[in-house]
């Protein structure tokens, strides 16, 4: 069965909003909807996937990011829609279409007859139940800010949800893709006991939860009753937590793992191996975020000085080991080079003399030089480099190496002096919620003009206007030295040549949001 292709956007004042919908399945990264004619699919086999860190569980309201859980939960629960990270095109999954005449009232059409693996129907009421959990007054979901424009949700048919927003939003459908935990749909019957669901989820995805040993392995088995006939091709998937980057790289090189992330400083060593495909993540980046509510990050002079302490050429060497994959120009990060959302000139050149003078001025007024850089435990080389550069301008930086769960908790609590953050995508909703004061709010401070620009970046009706708003966002962040992007995303997705994730028409492009319903592996 195939669906019509319709485009997310506005062709004119009276145009109908809709999505670019391809065939019945696909991926946020362009994973194919239909099998490749160039290769004969081999059903069966179990894919071994190296996970960057442990997830907090399967309850969607507890999941924050792709890479720390959403990508695993999606195999069990599926997602309402899918997104191409490069084009922002949106594809169908559990929902076969989403459309609007005015970008304010959106109609979500679900597939008929889909059931959760506990036999409950995946209908309009189930979707509303799931979305309501994210926007409940006491919800701490990271998707809450993304869905903040929802005014009402109504089941206008058994498989039709009508969502009315408080104001038009041209990018609302992106909040229902795999970039957001709001896209994950669990069985309402099972979610009645959230604690039990968190460790034993029930969904309608291509795989069924089998077992989970935290900090070790997650085992998923094929869902024989998956709504997309003939899929999944795999008999199962095993996620193994491999926090240490060298261990993860060695496992991918040896063939012990079929899919996982490899840090940039190891790319040279693996780029030419015949058994691996290495694909840098197409968007996203790494950023240093000073806490704007505590010294020294609360002083704008110090924040500005930090932006002048790094040499992009040296940063590229430290982060990517000399691999010529990045031109050492951070001006477009987290967007891809050439993106119409890119604002040129929003970075500072290295100027150690001026940086030292700004910090000294702050210190002369009684400011404290002491701060702590909190980072994910595999990034010690990078954190040490930043520590050295900041010490040269007069700051006393201690390092705190933590696991993924602790990193997320400390960021959410504002428990850091400097936060080394990263994201594997750009724009709305991922980067948007990191900037927005009502979201995860990197930097812990509120700039009304930034929130206003972010709302325009989310809600403007034309792509051109949304891109202009993103340029305005970059200018405001630069002018306030709120944070600074140091490089593109510092890891690449690598997969075995035996694991097939795409077709010639829709090749896998390196997104960290990988759907495995269409994946197959050579036996």
pLDDT digits (tens, 9 = 90+) for 53-81: 899 999 999 998 888 899 999 999 999 99
Q: What is the pLDDT of residue 300?
A: 96
pTM above 0.85, yes or no: no
Q: What is the pLDDT of residue 403?
A: 87
pLDDT for 19 beyond 50: no
Q: What is the pLDDT of residue 463?
A: 85
Strands 160-165 and 81-83, by their bridges, are unpaired
Q: What is the mean pLDDT of the segment spanning 320-329? A: 75
* Helix axes of 463-479 and 448-459: crossing angle, nearest 10 degrees: 160
Tell me which of 491 and 86 has the higher pLDDT.
Answer: 491
Band (pLDDT 50/70/90 cuts) for residue 38 is: low
Q: How many domains does the chain have?
A: 1
Buried/exposed code over 67-95 (b: 16+ C-beta within 10 A; e: otherwise): bbbbbbbbbbbbbbbbbbbbebbbbbbbb
How many DSSP H helices and E strands does the chain contain? 14, 21
Q: What is the pLDDT of residue 130?
A: 99
CA distance readout (Å), 300 to 66, 237, 326, 357, 503: 32, 48, 29, 13, 49
Between 23-27, 189-193, 279-283, the lowest mean confidence (pLDDT) is in 23-27
Beta pairing partners, 277 = 495
Band (pLDDT 50/70/90 cuts) for residue 367 is: very high
pLDDT for 237 beyond 50: yes
Closest CA to 267 of 282, 279, 258: 279
Tell me which of 91 and 415 has the higher pLDDT.
Answer: 415
Of the chain, the percentage scoring pLDDT greater than 90 comes to 67
Q: Within a domain: residue 165?
A: no
Tokens of 160: 């039709």
Q: Within a domain: residue 382?
A: yes
Positive/negative CA dihedral, 399, 484, 292, 403: negative
pLDDT for 329 beyond 50: yes
Of the chain, the percentage scoring pLDDT greater than 70 comes to 91
pLDDT for 88 beyond 80: no
Q: Within a domain: residue 224?
A: no
Band (pLDDT 50/70/90 cuts) for residue 503 is: low
Beta pairing partners, 239 = 49, 218
Other beta carbons less than 10 A from residue 44's beta carbon: 12
Band (pLDDT 50/70/90 cuts) for residue 504 is: low
Task: Give the DSSP H or E segment for 128.
Answer: helix 124-135
Strands 370-376 and 418-423, by their bridges, are parallel
Tell me which of 364 and 28 has the higher pLDDT.
Answer: 364
Residues 154, 83 contacting (CB under 8 angstroms): no
Tell me which of 489 and 159 has the higher pLDDT.
Answer: 159
What's the CA gap between 422 and 67, in Å, rounded? 11
Read off the CATH number of the domain in which 474 is found: 3.10.105.10
CA distance readout (Å), 87 to 19, 83, 169, 282, 463: 12, 8, 18, 11, 11
Q: What is the mean pLDDT of the segment spanning 207-234? A: 97
pLDDT for 104 beyond 70: yes
Interval 414-463: pLDDT, tens = 999 999 998 888 888 889 989 999 888 899 989 999 999 999 999 998 88
The residues near 357 (Cβ < 8 Å, ≥ 6 apart) are none
Domain that holds residue 403: 285-488
DSSP state of 78: -
Band (pLDDT 50/70/90 cuts) for residue 32 is: very low
Q: What is the mean pLDDT of the segment spanning 323-342? A: 84
Phi, psi of 58 (to 5 degrees): -110, -10
Q: Within a domain: residue 506?
A: no
Q: Within a domain: residue 393?
A: yes
SS3 228: coil
> Tokens 């202009």 belong to which residue?
468
Q: What is the pLDDT of residue 301?
A: 97
Band (pLDDT 50/70/90 cuts) for residue 29 is: very low
Band (pLDDT 50/70/90 cuts) for residue 89 is: confident
Q: What is the mean pLDDT of the segment spanning 254-273? A: 90
The residues near 475 (Cβ < 8 Å, ≥ 6 apart) are 343, 346
Q: Within a domain: residue 496?
A: no
Beta pairing partners, 218 = 212, 239
Q: Within a domain: residue 412?
A: yes
Interval 279-322: pLDDT, tens = 887 788 999 999 999 999 999 999 999 999 999 999 888 888 76
Q: What is the pLDDT of residue 506?
A: 62
Q: What is the mean pLDDT of the segment spanning 7-11? A: 32
Tell me which of 32 and 204 has the higher pLDDT.
Answer: 204
The arrangement of strands across the sheet holding 484-488 comes to 396-402, 370-376, 418-423, 285-290, 484-488
Q: Within a domain: residue 140?
A: no
Residues 516, 235 contacting (CB under 8 angstroms): no
Average pLDDT of the chain to the nearest whole number: 89
């Amino acid at each position: 069965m195939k669906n019509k292709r319709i485009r997310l956007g506005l062709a004119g004042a009276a145009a109908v909003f809709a999505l670019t919908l391809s065939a019945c399945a696909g991926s946020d990264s362009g994973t194919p909807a239909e099998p490749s004619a160039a290769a004969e699919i081999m059903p069966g086999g179990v894919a071994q996937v190296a996970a960057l860190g442990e997830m907090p569980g399967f309850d969607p309201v507890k999941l924050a990011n792709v890479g720390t859980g959403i990508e695993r939960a999606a195999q069990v629960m599926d997602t309402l829609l899918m997104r191409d990270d490069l084009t922002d095109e949106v594809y169908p999954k559990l929902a076969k279409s989403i459309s609007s005449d005015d970008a304010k009232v959106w109609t979500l059409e679900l597939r008929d007859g889909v059931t959760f693996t506990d036999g409950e129907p995946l209908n309009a009421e189930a979707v509303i139940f799931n979305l309501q959990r994210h926007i409940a007054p006491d919800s701490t979901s990271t998707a809450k800010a993304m869905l903040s424009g929802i005014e009402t949700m109504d089941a206008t048919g058994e498989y039709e949800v009508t969502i009315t927003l408080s104001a038009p939003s041209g990018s609302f459908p992106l909040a229902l893709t795999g970039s957001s935990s709001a896209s994950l749909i669990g069985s309402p019957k099972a979610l009645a006991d959230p604690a039990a669901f968190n460790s034993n989820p029930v969904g309608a995805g291509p795989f069924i939860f089998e077992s989970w040993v935290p900090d070790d392995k997650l085992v998923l088995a094929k869902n024989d009753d998956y709504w997309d006939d003939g899929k999944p091709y795999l008999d199962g998937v095993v996620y193994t937590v491999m926090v240490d980057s060298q261990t993860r790289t060695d496992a991918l090189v040896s063939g012990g793992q079929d899919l996982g992330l490899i840090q940039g400083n190891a790319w040279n060593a693996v780029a030419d191996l015949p058994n691996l495909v290495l694909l840098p993540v197409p968007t996203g980046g790494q950023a240093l975020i000073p806490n704007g509510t505590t010294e020294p990050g609360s002083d704008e002079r110090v924040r500005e000085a930090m932006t002048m302490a790094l040499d992009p050429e040296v940063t590229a060497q430290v982060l990517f080991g000399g691999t010529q994959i990045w031109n050492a120009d951070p001006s477009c990060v987290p967007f891809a080079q050439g993106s119409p959302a890119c604002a040129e000139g929003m970075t500072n050149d290295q100027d150690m003399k001026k940086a030292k003078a700004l910090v000294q001025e702050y210190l002369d007024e009684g400011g404290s030089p002491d701060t702590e850089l909190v980072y994910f435990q595999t990034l010690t080389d990078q954190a040490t480099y930043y520590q050295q550069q900041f010490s040269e301008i007069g700051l006393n930086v201690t390092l705190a190496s933590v696991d993924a769960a602790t990193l997320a908790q400390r960021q959410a609590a504002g428990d850091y002096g400097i936060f080394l953050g990263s994201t594997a995508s750009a724009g709305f909703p991922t980067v948007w919620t990191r900037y927005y004061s009502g979201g995860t709010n990197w930097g812990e401070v509120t700039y009304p003009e930034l929130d206003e620009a972010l709302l325009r970046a989310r809600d403007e009706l034309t792509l051109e206007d949304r891109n202009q708003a993103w340029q305005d966002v970059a200018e405001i962040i630069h002018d306030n030295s709120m944070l600074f992007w140091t490089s593109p995303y510092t890891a690449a997705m690598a997969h075995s040549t035996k694991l097939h994730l795409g077709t010639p028409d829709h090749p896998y492009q390196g997104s960290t949001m990988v759907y495995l319903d269409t994946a197959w592996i050579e036996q």
